[in-house]
Amino acid sequence: MDSRFHTNRAWLLVLPAALLLFFNALVPFMAVINYSFQEVYSPTAHLFVGWEHFVDVMHDPDILKALGRQSIFTAVTLAIEIPLGIAVSLTMPRGGRWSGLILVFLALPLMVPWNIVGFIWEVFGRSDIGLLGNFVNNTLGIHYNYATDGVSAWVTLILMDIWHWTSLVALLSYAGLCAIPGAFYQAARIDGASRLAVFRHIELPKLKGVLTIALILRFIYSFKIYAAPFLITGGGPGDATTFLTQILQIIAINQLNVGRAGAFGALYFLIILLISYLFYILLTRSGTVGEEG
């Protein structure tokens, strides 16, 4: 019997996940696209309006401002979390009795649900009972109140995101470092390479694959963040921390404007998909060029 038949049967193991993805992602997405071209008055009364909702969304000043805030938040968190995660992974032991304990400790923030993270930092940042708020206000003498000050709100959300997600970058980077053969380090020691040279010419090129995954995952999560900012600041003070997800929630749930929310959701998805694809192309091409050189 052809052994390839047995090998190909392994794809059947992926079938349940593919079916689940189809019904949980593709079918709802098709419904969103369908509603985005209609004005929905009731479950039985629809009016086809073409591209009207898309044009309206792309010219809405509140959405454009939220897009700017979302872009700044994502850029700042990525600029901090990616280098910090790499730095943490470089300090971690590659073996020994403490490595497993360190990995478990590092993974703890990732196990906390998003809504619980928001609740933790909501209490943590309060000036009356929170450790962070009390320390900054009373010990450092710096005015800090995320409920009334926009800068404080942004600092709180950025610190929260760094605490929650830097571990993901560190764990992925650590896995990449552990996969580097010891012969590379032995050759570097023989050549008398410095620690910086080892990182630049050995470790960083070998980490490009996992860093591509880390960057794309972190971009997607940060660009569609919702639960934590909603719980901590509620989008305030004013609209200082109102991001795209909160605008979408207002349109879809508060205003019950299904057609406009569908167009907004479709454009939101396309933005994330396009930027993620650009990240992937740039990082994989730079890795190929570096290896060929």
Q: What is the pLDDT of residues 62-115, one digit of tens each?
A: 999 999 999 999 999 999 999 999 999 999 888 777 888 888 888 999 999 888
Burial class of residue 11 in the structure, from the number of CB atoms within 10 Å of its CB (0-12 exposed, 13-18 middle, 19+ buried): exposed
Contact yes or no for 248/264 (Cβ under 8 A): yes
Q: Residue 290 has what pLDDT?
A: 41
| Closest to 92 (Cα-Cα) out of 204, 175, 7 | 175
Lowest mean pLDDT of 8-17, 23-32, 121-130, 181-190, name the range.
8-17
Confidence at 286, pLDDT banded by 50, 70, 90: low
* Domains of the chain with CATH codes: 59-292 (1.10.3720.10)
